[in-house]
């Protein structure tokens, strides 16, 4: 029998791509999303991509305990993948309470509802941001955690709460996945990332410049101690990430206990590497100007992804060129999102 997986935030960027990987792996995703940063229109796209019925989608909030209790009572849910949350670092500095409310309180309400329902398999979206400014790269999972903003602290708080929960009683199967920089889109070009307003992140900004919606990219700093002077990150294709969730889910279903894993490629790419790869993908030049450093930015970091490979048998397969080609297919086909 197919196992149903509750996917909170499943209409969002990483969640929607993971729903495809879940469906292709024989799971049945059930989405819970408040559409605060997404659109229900993604469901029809998911159906087109998978050739299966659109996932069941419930509009609602992870902080709504009564709704969660109803969901667990009405559906036979075997596991939960918890993406729902807010993710803009700058907003978290301006409005920390909404970050602690959505990300921390929401995660606690969800875990309490799972415990009552007897569902104890949980995959959680954490972030490399929990490492803050690392001492060295590649970053292994046992590197010190010292997040530098409320968003990062909200992720670390949830990691700690879920860790304590996992250790408090037998039966829990919890994977805390620390994503590096997810980019790209499904290769169909039918789903992708569509930030509201001016993008904070590099790849959506470059895409919007390439499609003509913005005049140029401002490179935040050209004088870092990196090979070309620009910031270096571990960009990982969102479909590799999606497949990493399926691998983590399979592992959790088969093994009790707590896992903390990096999901990244193990390779660093600079801002100018991304721009060059994007230019190859779209066949145009991407105008850019070098501006000052962005406050709070770390010069360079990338993952040590060896634990995910050893434990899950998962590793990222897609190249930076493929990430840019897929982003471009999505952006050029859907310049205004869904």
Quote the CA–CA distance of 232 and 272 in Å, as a whole number: 9
Give the residue, chosen from 22, 77, 219, 238, that forms a contact with ligand WQD under the rule CB under 6 A. 219
Q: Is residue 129 at the binding interface for ligand WQD, with CB under 6 A as the rule?
A: yes
Site for ligand WQD in 83-112 (CB under 6 A): 87, 89
Residue 103 exposed, middle or buried by CB count within 10 Å (0-12, 13-18, 19+): buried
Residue 268 exposed, middle or buried by CB count within 10 Å (0-12, 13-18, 19+): buried
- Buried b / exposed e over 187-222, threshold 16 CB at 10 Å, is eebbbbbbbeeebebbbbbbbbbbbeebeebebbbb
Q: Which residue is nearest to ligand NAD (CB)?
A: 12
Q: Is residue 5 at the binding interface for ligand NAD, with CB under 6 A as the rule?
A: no
Q: Is residue 102 at the binding interface for ligand NAD, with CB under 6 A as the rule?
A: yes
Quote the CA–CA distance of 335 and 33 in Å, as a whole number: 23
Evaluate whether 25 touches 246 at the Cβ level (below 8 Å).
yes
Q: Is residue 246 at the binding interface for ligand WQD, with CB under 6 A as the rule?
A: no
Dig out the tokens for 270 from the structure.
Answer: 């600079």
- Of the candidates 99, 100, 131, 151, the residue annotated as catalytic is 151
Site for ligand WQD in 163-192 (CB under 6 A): 181
Q: Is residue 255 at the binding interface for ligand WQD, with CB under 6 A as the rule?
A: no
DSSP state of 63: T
Question: Closer CB to ligand WQD, residue 10 or residue 182?
Answer: 182
Give the residue, chosen from 65, 115, 220, 309, that forms a contact with ligand WQD under the rule CB under 6 A. 220
Angle between helices 320-333 and 271-282 (to 10 degrees): 60
Give the residue, chosen from 6, 22, 81, 106, that forms a contact with ligand NAD under the rule CB under 6 A. 106
Q: Is residue 294 at the binding interface for ligand WQD, with CB under 6 A as the rule?
A: yes
DSSP of 260-272, one letter per residue? EEEES-S--EEHH
Give the residue, chosen from 35, 96, 288, 332, that forms a contact with ligand NAD under the rule CB under 6 A. 35
Report the candidate in 189, 286, 308, 288 with the shortest Cα–Cα distance to residue 238: 189
224 part of the active site: no
Q: Is residue 231 at the binding interface for ligand WQD, with CB under 6 A as the rule?
A: yes
What residue ranges bind ligand WQD (CB under 6 A)?
A: 87, 89, 127, 129, 181, 200-202, 205, 217-220, 231, 233, 271, 294, 297
What residue ranges bind ligand NAD (CB under 6 A)?
A: 8-9, 11-15, 33-38, 61-63, 83-87, 102, 106, 125, 127, 179, 182
């Amino acid at each position: 029998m197919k196992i149903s997986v509750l996917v909170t935030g499943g209409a969002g960027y990483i969640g929607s791509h993971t729903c495809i990987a879940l469906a292709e792996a024989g799971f049945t995703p059930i989405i819970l999303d408040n559409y605060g940063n997404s659109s229900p229109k993604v469901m029809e796209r998911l159906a087109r991509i998978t050739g299966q019925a659109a996932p069941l989608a419930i509009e609602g909030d992870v902080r709504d305990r009564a709704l969660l209790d109803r969901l667990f009572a009405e559906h036979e849910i075997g596991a939960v993948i918890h993406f729902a949350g807010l993710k803009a670092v700058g907003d978290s500095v301006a409005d920390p309470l909404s970050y602690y409310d959505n990300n921390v309180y929401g995660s606690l309400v969800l875990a309490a509802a799972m415990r009552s329902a007897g569902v104890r398999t949980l995959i959680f979206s954490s972030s490399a941001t929990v490492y803050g400014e690392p001492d060295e790269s590649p970053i292994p999972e046992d590197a010190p955690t010292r997040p530098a903003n409320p968003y990062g602290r909200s992720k670390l708080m949830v990691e700690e709460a879920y860790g304590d929960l996992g250790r408090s009683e037998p039966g829990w199967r919890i994977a805390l996945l620390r994503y590096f920089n997810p980019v790209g889109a499904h290769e169909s070009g039918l789903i992708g990332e569509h930030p509201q307003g001016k993008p904070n992140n590099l790849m959506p900004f470059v895409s919007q410049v390439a499609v003509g919606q913005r005049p140029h990219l401002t490179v935040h700093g050209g004088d870092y101690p990196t090979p070309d002077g620009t910031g270096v990150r571990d960009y990982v294709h969102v479909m590799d990430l999606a497949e990493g969730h399926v691998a983590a889910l399979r592992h959790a279903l088969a093994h009790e206990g707590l896992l903390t894993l990096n999901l990244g490629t193990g390779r660093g790419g600079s801002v100018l590497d991304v721009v060059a790869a994007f230019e190859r993908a779209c066949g145009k030049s991407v105008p850019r100007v070098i501006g000052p450093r962005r406050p709070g930015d770390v010069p360079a970091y990338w993952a040590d992804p060896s634990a995910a490979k050893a434990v899950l048998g998962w590793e990222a397969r897609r190249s930076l060129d493929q990430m840019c080609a897929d982003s471009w297919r999505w952006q050029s086909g859907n310049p205004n999102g869904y």
